[in-house]
Structure 1
Amino acid sequence: MGTLSTFNFLTLNGFYKDAANDVSWHRHGGEESGFASDQMEGRKSILVFGRVTYEQMASWWSSPAALEAMPDVTKGMNESSKIVFSTTLESADWENTTLIKGDLIEEIKNLKADPDVQMTILGSGSLVAQLAEAGLIDHYGIMIDPVALGDGKPLFSGMKTTLDLQLVDTRTFKSGVVLLNYVPLNVHA
């Protein structure tokens, strides 16, 4: 069976992006950049996005500014295989991207049937909530930033079940950002 992981930044009050879909509040200093570069090195995981996150990521990571700011991560992001789930996009032009318009849950189940498939959802709160509720996420990586926003979008918005997680690892960065790694215990209806 393949694996599906998530990786998201969260504020102290549980938002993965602000009300305008911005994540510039995330503290991404030298230590965090090094961590991101290490994560991209040798990456074989397929990156998974919803439409909104895909459009933001494609715009940033294909820009000269991204290449200048974070060359190793930019190279890794551009070279990685990517899937975007959308019923409204007509095409996905970011290199190495496949557009899937089918049923999210069924498509992920089909992809996970291959034991060699490793996928990581970046951002994409709607996908995370739907796939968490379906019990299809195997690992949750969450970076908590020491910031609270007045308004934003909660990561698990729309879930109708309870998701029990077990903490398996932590890492604290000098900036005050804390990385929490969880695996699911179970999902309750």
Structure 2
Amino acid sequence: MRKLVYYVAVTLDGFIAAEDGTFDGFVFEGDHMTGINAEYPDTLPTQFREALGLQDAPNRHFDTVLMGRHTYQVPGGLASPYAHLRQFVVSSTVTGTPADVEVIRSDVAGRVAALKEEDGLDIWLCGGGKLAAALLPQIDALLVKIHPVTFGRGIPLFDGKAGITKFRRTDARLFESGVSFMTFERN
């Protein structure tokens, strides 16, 4: 069975984006970029993969991406940001997506359960915080890039009612850039 993996950048104070949905405060240069991009080329937007010469890099961990509406419609975003993955957007309002982006309008938990039963690589929960809170019972692992910055306010890692859920740390990598990359698996 495939896993649902919440792979996301977060600030020291627990936010995945500023209140307006931007994430300019994150560290985009440094040794963590090389290390993480080499291990997770599948999580780079298609246009960045091409710019970095990784367009032919195989998907190592994920073949499917699941995004909330705000993550999909991030300012300056692309209509098909992860064309190298099977793309799903959870929204009741998004329209006009390209053919390779499927919109899930209802029974999100049921659709995710069905996706987990399919053969293939894991499913990347790309964001956002509300979707992560709603799907917390189905999240099998967290891959968290902790950036050495605070936003003060913004979109929380889990935005909404989420019950206590215990995970165990299975890996930790510290980079000179100040970014920590932590892996947690559900207990």
TM range (shorter): 0.7 to 0.9
Q: Specify which structure has the higher proportion of helix.
A: 1
Q: Which residue of 1 aligns with 2:90?
A: 85
Deviation at 1:183, TM superposition (A): 0.7
Q: Structure 1 stretch 46-55 or stretch 148-157: which is displaced more?
A: 148-157
Q: Which residue of 2 aligns with 1:138?
A: 140
Deviation at 1:31, TM superposition (A): 2.4
User: Does the CA contact (< 8 Å) of 1:45 and 1:119 recur in 2?
Assistant: yes
1:56-107 per-position Cα deviation (integer Å, ceiling 9, x unaligned): 2871597xxxxxxxxxxx8xx33222111111011322x7322221211111
Q: 1:121 aligned to 2:137?
A: no
User: Does the CA contact (< 8 Å) of 1:80 and 1:96 recur in 2?
Assistant: no
User: Does the CA contact (< 8 Å) of 1:172 and 1:179 recur in 2?
Assistant: yes
Q: Structure 1 stretch 156-165 or stretch 173-182: which is displaced more?
A: 156-165
**Residue ranges of structure 2 left out of the alignment (5+ in a row):** 42-56
Q: 1:100 aligned to 2:104?
A: yes
User: Does the CA contact (< 8 Å) of 1:50 and 1:127 recur in 2?
Assistant: yes
Deviation at 1:113, TM superposition (A): 1.8
Task: Say which SS state the counterpart of residue 83 (structure 2) adopts.
Answer: helix
Report % sequence identity: 24
User: Does the CA contact (< 8 Å) of 2:133 and 2:162 recur in 1?
Assistant: no
Q: Aligned equivalents of 2:30 and 2:67: distance in 1?
A: 26
After superposition, the Cα gap between the structure-2 partners of 1:177 and 1:117, relative to the gap in structure 1 and judged at 3 Å, is closer
Q: Aligned equivalents of 1:78 and 1:110: distance in 2?
A: 21
- 5 Å-filtered alignment, 1:20-169, equals 20-34=20-34, 35-40=36-41, 41-43=57-59, 44-56=62-74, 59=77, 77-93=82-98, 96-116=100-120, 118-132=122-136, 135-169=137-171
TM-score, reference length from structure 2: 0.81
Deviation at 1:116, TM superposition (A): 2.9
TM-score, reference length from structure 1: 0.81
**Residue ranges of structure 1 left out of the alignment (5+ in a row):** 63-73
Partner amino acid, structure 2, of 1:49: M
User: Does the CA contact (< 8 Å) of 1:85 and 1:99 recur in 2?
Assistant: yes
Deviation at 1:30, TM superposition (A): 4.0
Q: Point out 4+ residue stretches in structure 1 off by more than 4 angstroms.
A: none
Deviation at 1:137, TM superposition (A): 0.9
Q: Aligned equivalents of 1:178 and 1:141: distance in 2?
A: 10
| Structural RMSD (CA) | 2.1
